[in-house]
Amino acid sequence: MEYNNKQIISMLKVLLMMMLMTMGTQTVYLGQTHAQLSSDFYAESCPSLFPAVRQVMQRAVAKERRMAASLLRLFFHDCFVNGCDGSILLDDTPSFRGEKTAGPNNNSVRGFEVIDKIKSRVEKLCPGVVSCADIVALSARDSVLLLSGGPRWSVKLGRRDSKNAGFSAANSGVIPSPFSTLKNLINRFKAQGLSVRDIVALSGAHTIGQANCCAGLTFNNSNINFSFALSRHKNCPATSGSGDNKKAPLDIGSPTRFDHSYYNQLLDKKILFNGSGTDSLVVTYSRSLNTFYRDFVRAMIKMGDIKPLTGSHGQIRRNCRRPN
């Protein structure tokens, strides 16, 4: 069969497109590039990234153990609002309102200064290369690792930074409230591609850090063990709104160790454990630290995959607090 020049050129274009669609670590869809995240994304462009992040994190956690929990939570609050894009780090600008003053974040989410220090150090080593979104993901991993040898995992990298914040999205309920029902939690996590198992595993992050007292939660909840409630009453006010911003650990046994004692307290009804469909997972994690670590790591990696900006989308911010 013979082909004219126009037909040959047309076939060559098709073959070239097919080659591009299967080449390297990128997939091309009609001109739109979607780069895949990978743990070695900065292996050549910023080989000193990991120790640089670790050094700043070590100093921050040594200065204040609670900071580890805060940076872990920062990652969660970033990813649940329009994906893991570093948007939570943005300050207000004349063109948009940042997420920091949204209901779930205001006077609650913290650790921004630590991210600034990491970014400053990394920019000196590898200017314009590493995104703020990836720094948040790495700081979350190191937060866990630095607390008494928590689980280690390879963080998938290659995210780019959002140019805008999502104040309205952060206020829309995508970030579950501390007072959420189990059904609401499941729906919120499912919307992000996370399973019930992921919910229970990720809740194990409450083994570190502190939470606001929220008096009504411990004074009026019949599913909370009396001795646990009594221990909370020493620091927390009896009247809602009269001191809810005071802090108290959820894991009263080892609040600065990343272990599975949180689940043992759930079984004792020292926090919430009330015959729901998640109880079997709580039992499993209370008995096996390795199983908890395995599922927690898997859930963290899945959460880090929530709608990242990659390829030609977004930007690499020079300053994590504002767009370039």
* 251 annotated to a ligand binding site: yes
Cβ contacts of residue 272 below 8 Å, gap of 6+?
221, 223, 224, 266
* 92 annotated to a ligand binding site: no
- Options 77, 233, 260, 313, the catalytic residue: 77
* 130 annotated to a ligand binding site: no
C-alpha to C-alpha distance for 268 and 229, rounded to whole angstroms: 12
* 305 annotated to a ligand binding site: no
The amino acid sitting at 6 is K
C-alpha to C-alpha distance for 279 and 300, rounded to whole angstroms: 21
List beta partners, residue 211. Answer: 248
List beta partners, residue 319. Answer: 322
* 116 annotated to a ligand binding site: no
> Of 184, 183, 203, 180, whose CA–CA distance to 265 is shortest?
203
- State the burial class of residue 229 (Cβ atoms within 10 Å of its Cβ: 0-12, 13-18, 19+): middle
Q: What backbone phi and psi angles, to 5 degrees, belong to 275? A: 75, 25
C-alpha to C-alpha distance for 87 and 272, rounded to whole angstroms: 32
Q: At what angle do helices 66-79 and 112-125 cross, to 10 degrees?
A: 80
* 277 annotated to a ligand binding site: no
* 233 annotated to a ligand binding site: no
Number of Cβ within a 10 Å radius of residue 187? 13
- Do 214 and 244 touch, CB atoms closer than 8 A? yes
Helix (H) or strand (E) holding 33: strand 32-35
* 260 annotated to a ligand binding site: no
* 176 annotated to a ligand binding site: yes
Q: At what angle do helices 289-304 and 279-287 cross, to 10 degrees?
A: 120
* 24 annotated to a ligand binding site: no
Q: Is 313 a catalytic residue?
A: no
Annotated binding site for Ca(2+): 78, 81, 83, 85, 87, 99, 207, 251, 259
Annotated binding site for heme b: 206
Annotated binding site: 78, 81, 83, 85, 87, 99, 176, 206-207, 251, 259
Residues serving a catalytic function are: 77
